[in-house]
Chains A and B, each alone.
Chain A
């Protein structure tokens, strides 16, 4: 076998980490709908328990050599059994800590951010639901269990995006997210069905150790189908446009679900099945390509957007693209490490954005700048730290993970990926600091600062504390790169530490700094035009602003082909063919019924005849046979 059983106490810890948020969800939704404070308390304590369990697990299994797996049978159908259980290895431990940690911080922040909202208790209920689904997803030892929680995560995402469902755009965005990820999940579903039917196993360890009976073509096919689900969940090309719309949800939701953890589930799954994907070169190349396209496309979109949360959303897609590229290029540890650092600094960026939006009551970065957003010194400072990390500047965490990714890309088979990655680095730095300079150095500001900051003093202090914690994490995380890699690769996953040539190490920081400088020239200087180089050429600006017309393409596809083509065709078929057949069948059955009923109204003599005829006739026939 490829694993050892989980020791009993670790098993309890793992279960506790998953089950407490579920209990909190149940308690809140059933008993505490009208008690917002209690609901927040229950939810927070549950996630705190999860966090403690996760940290204990991580500490205990820091030097894990072999994955630990324990399962019990859930149901059996003839010779096929469906187990449920826990899989503990470096990846799941790391991810568990990230999920519970960020979830804890975001919930803490939400106490102040959501204060006074009529749906306060519901919000914390959904947050607990998400925490349960996500922790269980991380611990799942087989694809089936993973898929169940994958869908539950999607459900909680839908519920939280549409949290302010009175707003039409919010409920529309929720629907869009749900449907688009569902499109990917359908592919995922088909993928694991192939694994189950032809491969004979859905156990992650079996798949990763080639203990399946799939041909090479089948491996590629199933890997690509599973990748469809990853593209949907991680908002990769072409299923990327739901994520910017998902920013309709509250800012902490965006921080937790739509940047740090849930959208990273796709990358997590790719990492989970990394050895399996490695068995197919074609699948890896597709990963690389999709990551590449998503990364560049969304970076260009971020260059022209004025909505602060949308910029970070595009940036999330772009960074997820980086991670998928890294994994596609074989840089397992690099991709997962970037996931880790990204979770920290992107949550920080979103929470800072939330503070600004809350104070200035607008999402537009230019308006925030003019309203004097920079007077919120701590927030702006934290945001700058986040942006520096995002751009990949030493000594912030992003620098280390991005270096690893660039090294992995440089080692890839074609220079295209590396050059594209460098372009991505430049654009990332450019759009991040465009935002920072717009807010930090606005041309003119209103006389007085942003409106009264809502929430009581201590709530704001808690929110600030969360920002500071995340900023500190962003600062120090980079120096743990080595030990995290040991944790991730200590289990026999084939991922040699790739180190690019020296010039490569210098090129990307230089490009990042160049991006910042360009941003300063265009937005930071005193007499700058405050229009980006992309904005000057109107067709390009329009192309970027309209998200490369992807939404239009989807609209056309759905409107023309789905609605008018397939749906109407089905309806015609329903009306003209199926209904008619049904009417004929039903009519003839009823006619038979009437005939049979009429027969029973006959005289008794004929009935007796039937009795005798049937009994004797049948007996004779049987005897003759």
Chain B
């Protein structure tokens, strides 16, 4: 007997996507679409928050609803809601395509919600593909930008390649484990993880999630996609999509049972490479979105440090890191959206004088960048402290030192942005940035969250710990 109440948030998202699908068939009206999107996403957010306590299993064990999945659904919906908040000025997308834009965004959100609850290999694959397809199209929706098609295509090819690898890996895992249910695999895999077939299968199976999280070497799509996509889509990819990727990656890696040094080494190499490549390449970027893309790659590396310690503490810290990324990256993109005119891309230099053109945004940006660099007392500092602690407990001191070197490198470009925002006088007289009251409130909320996460992170850390507890049966 299927308990459909557990599935209400997903059904609601499907309904929301349906509403936008109907809008696609009507005359384009961007105000109507925006209003509907705000209302629907806000309602959906409440619904997911309400569903946090749910527990249970659906569809013959394919779909599991627990604290872990439900909190991640809240986070994903947060990402969706926040991305919609940025859509008041959706000039980066053709007016006639607005309904489609929201439709795809809602569909992608639905897919990710499914993704974090699926505990069956095939279901995971389908959910992952569903979310990726929506994003490929969303990246392409950019108006008046020659490279839009190119970015979307690169994104798609890279996604297809990693999907192929992942499917191959799934096949190997299924072949050895004789089951596609994670529960069965969890019983079987930890003992056999060092067999070549199992290890190869497992590593290949991870590639799809590495692609989502933009871990080296699956990150090549990120700079182009971030640069070419509409700002709101970039924000969505950087926040909701990353959180979902972290969720499912932890779920899959927890399968290994923390038994394999070889797997850990594989993850360590990818983690260090991601950090280094991301941070180094970010130094040379002029385009702010491209820079943030490389910063995402670097942060994927940091998250991996938490995951690769293969302990409960490491997973919990990775979850916390995902939450902090959601807040900090959204804040950065909020500034990008507000500082750009007509949805054009901006360079770091365009932020000149931000501190008097939009003081609240500038303060939020300051905290977000400090957080990304890991400077106390921000949420980002707590997150880094947690993952480094987890790695230290596993005796990975040198990995932490490597990460610290990367943090120093990353400070260079984060501070370049802040220098532009606070110390460089703009040429000519740029118009002041009008920040609407709701967005100002959102910025203040982000500021409070970032500071609270740095000063009093206890409850959130406990929550992350409780969430990952459920991963170990």
Contacts and interface: CB of A to CB of B under 8 A. Distances in A.
Contact of A597 (B218, B262, B281): B281
Contacts of A612: 161
A314 B270 CA distance: 72
A589 B204 CA distance: 33
Contacts of A600: 220, 223, 281
Size class of B's contact patch? Answer: 20 to 34
Nearest to B297: A600
Contacts of A625: 262, 265
B226 to A, nearest CB: 12
A594 interface: yes
B223 A611 contact: no
B302 to A, nearest CB: 17
A608 B157 CA distance: 9
A596 B199 contact: no
A238 interface: no
A611 B217 contact: yes
Given A611-B161, A615-B203, A615-B204, A593 B220 contact: no
Interface string B266-292: 100110010001011111110000000
Interface stretch (A156-164, A243-251, A343-351, A616-624): A616-624
A597 B285 CA distance: 7
A66 interface: no
Contact of A589 (B217, B262, B265, B409): B409
Contacts of A592: 280
A593 B282 contact: yes
Contacts of A611: 158, 161-162, 217-218, 220
Contacts of B277: 596
Interface in A572-607: 586, 589-590, 592-600, 604, 607
A610 B162 CA distance: 12
A378 interface: no
A476 interface: no
B283 A590 contact: yes
A623 B203 CA distance: 12
Interface in B204-229: 204, 207, 216-218, 220, 223
Given A618-B266, A623-B199, A607 B220 contact: yes
Contacts of A589: 280, 283, 409, 412
Interface residues of A, number: 25
A454 to B, nearest CB: 50
Contacts of B199: 619, 622-623
B200 interface: yes
A608 B281 contact: no
B431 interface: no
A607 to B, nearest CB: 4
Contacts, number: 77
Contact of B280 (A596, A607, A622, A623): A596
A614 interface: yes
Contacts of A607: 158, 217, 220
A226 B154 CA distance: 70
A619 B282 CA distance: 28
B269 to A, nearest CB: 6
A610 B217 contact: yes
Given A615-B204, A623-B199, A608 B158 contact: yes
B186 interface: no
Among B162, B223, B280, B409, the one with the most A-chain Cβ atoms within 10 Å of its Cβ is B280
A600 B217 CA distance: 11
B473 interface: no
Nearest to B220: A607
B438 interface: no
B165 interface: yes
B157 A593 contact: no
B284 A596 contact: yes
A595 B158 CA distance: 22
B161 A623 contact: no
Contacts of A623: 196, 199-200, 262
Interface string B167-191: 0000000000000000000000000
A506 B221 CA distance: 99
A590 B284 contact: yes
Contacts of A608: 157-158, 161
A598 B284 CA distance: 9
B284 A604 contact: no
A619 B218 contact: no
Nearest to A623: B196
Contacts of B165: 615
Interface in B284-314: 284-285, 294
Contact of A604 (B158, B203, B269, B283): B158
A618 B165 CA distance: 14
A282 B390 CA distance: 51
A593 B158 contact: no
Interface in A365-411: none
A625 to B, nearest CB: 7
A615 B205 CA distance: 11
A608 B285 CA distance: 22
B412 to A, nearest CB: 8
Nearest to B262: A622
A593 B285 CA distance: 9
Interface in B303-340: none
Nearest to A620: B200
Interface string A236-275: 0000000000000000000000000000000000000000
Given A610-B217, A619-B199, A619-B200, A594 B284 contact: yes
Contacts of A597: 280-281, 283-285, 294
B283 A593 contact: yes
Contacts of A593: 279-284
A619 B203 contact: yes
B221 to A, nearest CB: 9
Contacts of A599: 281
A607 B221 CA distance: 9
A614 B282 CA distance: 22
Contacts of B285: 597
Contacts of A622: 199, 262, 265-266
Nearest to A606: B220
B103 to A, nearest CB: 28
Interface centre among A598, A599, A600 (most CB of B within 10 A): A600
Contact of B154 (A594, A595, A604, A614): A604
B205 to A, nearest CB: 11
A611 B211 CA distance: 10
Interface string B378-412: 00000000000000000000000000000001001
Question: In the complex, which of the residues A595, A604, A611, A612 has the most CB atoms of chain B within 10 Å of its own CB atom?
Answer: A611
Interface string B130-145: 0000000000000000
A615 B216 CA distance: 10
A592 B285 CA distance: 12
13 contacts: A589-B283, A590-B284, A593-B280, A596-B277, A597-B283, A607-B220, A611-B161, A611-B162, A615-B203, A619-B199, A619-B200, A619-B203, A623-B262
Given A593-B283, A619-B199, 11 more contacts: A592-B280, A597-B280, A597-B284, A597-B294, A600-B220, A608-B161, A611-B161, A612-B161, A615-B217, A618-B269, A622-B199
Which 8 pairs across A and B sit closest by C-beta, in order of nearness?
A593-B283, A597-B284, A596-B281, A607-B220, A596-B280, A593-B280, A593-B284, A614-B217
